[in-house]
Every structure is written in structure tokens, then in C-alpha cells.
Amino acid sequence: MLSPFSSIKQLSAANNSQIIIYLVLALLMILTRPYHFASALHLPSASLAVFFLCGFFQSRFSTFMLFFALSVIIDLASSYVRGAFGDCITPSYPFLIIGYFSLWYSGKHCFFILNKTTEKHLPRAFIKTLTGLLIASSVAFLTSNASYYWLSGKFEQLSISQYSSRVAQYYLPYIQSPFLYVGIALTCYVIAYNLHQIKRESFESK
């Protein structure tokens, strides 16, 4: 049985781990958001993965809003520096929150706690998580592109079918990036768990 002191110590360690995770995710967004550092570093955008992982690691809604505010600040700062607000900030811009929220919400419901039980069903947990990511990324793609089509004022001459055929080519590249980052994150999650288990078993055997 854990003592109250041990419980408090574990809770504090968990909170510190979450803070570190959120700081890493924030840095990843800053470094990879399009038109910013990503262009120089040749890194694919991690924004979709950041919101999904933010939910996956069980953040609160207030944390989601902080990350959305960060994305807006990055876009505004970049647009100001480039002098091209029209390229990024359009009437359809607020609709991004729908896609980001779907990623965060999906991430929260795809979370799995690693233990001896889930070790046996790890492939199933991975499939569930990646399926949730696929659905949420597709929602983000559809909402961002549909809103841009209807509200940007740049496609009055295109029919829905013409616009759809033109946009379809961007779908796969759009959802590839989050799969890359989430795959790496899940791998790190499993490795960290296994290292913790080895350390714990080593401590208990003494």
C-alpha cells in the first residue's frame, strides 16, 4: 500500500511530466508551423499532431485553448513579418478551431494507459489511436478547405465538383504529417513505459 507521501510524490511527478510534454508540443508547433521556421528547417507541419497529442495526454479544455491561441499568435506574427495577412488570415480562418478541436477531442478518447493488461493488446490500442487520428485529421481537412472555398472569395468561378477534384490531391499530404509525429510520440511513450518498468523492477529486487 502506498503511503500518502508516495502518492503525493507520484502525483507531482505526473504533473511535471505533463508540463514537459506540453512545452515540447508548444516548441514543436513553433518550429514547424508553415511559413515559419519549418521552411528553413524543412520540417513538415506538426500542428495537427500537436492538438491530437495534447488531447491524448489528457489535457484540459483550457490547455487546448492555450494551444489554439499559440497557433493564432504564430500566424499573426508570421503574417505581419511577411506583410501578407491575406494569404493566411481570411474570413475562413476561425473555422480552423473546428478541426483542431476534433483532433484534441479524438486524442482524449484514444488514450490508453500502459500496463500489463494493455501490453497484450498494444497493437489494438495503436490501431484505435491511429484510426481516431485519421478520422479527426480528415475532419480538419474538410472543415478548413470547405470554409476556405466558401468564404475566401477566391473560388467564385469554380463549382463544388471542380473545387473538390482540385483539392483532393492535397488530402494525403495533409494527413501524412500528423501520422509521422504521432507514430514517433507513441513509440517514445512505449519506450518510456518499458524503461520505467525496468527501473521499477530493479528497485524492487534490491
What pLDDT score was predicted for residue 174? 87
What pLDDT score was predicted for residue 170? 83
| Residue 69 pLDDT greater than 70, yes or no | yes
What pLDDT score was predicted for residue 93? 85
Map out the domains of the chain as residue ranges.
4-204
Number of Cβ atoms within 10 Å of the Cβ of 178: 26
Write down the mean pLDDT value for the chain. 81
In terms of pLDDT, which residue wins out, 183 or 147? 183
Which pLDDT tens digit goes with each residue over 22-46?
999 999 999 888 654 444 455 788 9
Whose CA is closest to 167, among 154, 178, 186? Answer: 154
What pLDDT score was predicted for residue 37? 47
| Residue position matching grid coordinates 497493437 | 123
What pLDDT score was predicted for residue 121? 84
What pLDDT score was predicted for residue 5? 39
In terms of pLDDT, which residue wins out, 33 or 1? 33
